[in-house]
Structure 1
Amino acid sequence: MSKNVTIKEAILSCVAERGADKSVCPSEIARLLFPTDWLEHMTDVVDVAIALHQQGKVVITQSGIAIDVEKIKGPIRITCV
């Protein structure tokens, strides 16, 4: 299984588990999957989250508001649709 598939499955699982009222930080996914070198995988996690957002499977937010993923500045959160 590829790293991106593993990240995708972890994101979808975590947001489903949290439910509509809560969100997940990309760093939580990175730490879950890559505990010893999670920071090195943050870009991968964010890239997969953006792809899932574009597919309509998750929503990327900042301060609880859905954002344009082409203009991300600062920390993001991932929520279920």
Structure 2
Amino acid sequence: MDNEAVREAILAALAMRGPGKSICPSEPARALAADWRPLMPQVRDAAARLADEGRLVVTQKGAPVDARAARGPIRLRPPD
């Protein structure tokens, strides 16, 4: 899957959810492919890069985290 398509899917899912709302990384993955599970590492990597750019915040249990170091479920939300 093209990295730009993954980035755009993440940003589109955030825009559809609305300001202040978070998404699960599986949402853009599901929008991109019926067999979405193999896309999850790529989605998490794209989320980490978008967070580095200040375009989103990665959280775990409501607190900001580094997507590259986080283990387990994460959420993606727009920056404050």
Length-normalised TM-score, structure 1: 0.87
* Cα displacement string for residues 5-39 of structure 1 (whole angstroms, at most 9, x for unaligned residues): 0110111111122223311111111111011x111
> Secondary structure, in 3 states, of the residue corresponding to 2:71?
coil
Residues 16 and 31 (structure 1), Cα distance of their counterparts in 2 relative to 1, 3 Å cut? same
> Secondary structure, in 3 states, of the residue corresponding to 2:19?
coil
How much identity, in percent, do the aligned residues show? 43
Q: Which residue of 1 aligns with 2:21?
A: 22
Runs of 4+, deviation exceeding 3 Å: none
Instruction: Kindly indicate whether residue 56 of structure 2 is the aligned counterpart of residue 58 of structure 1.
Output: yes
Instruction: Kindly indicate whether residue 8 of structure 2 is the aligned counterpart of residue 9 of structure 1.
Output: yes
What is the letter of the counterpart of residue 47 of structure 2? A
The answer to which structure has the higher helix fraction is 1
Whole-angstrom CA distance in 2 between matches of 1:8 and 1:64: 22
Length-normalised TM-score, structure 2: 0.88
Over aligned residues, Cα RMSD in angstroms? Answer: 1.4
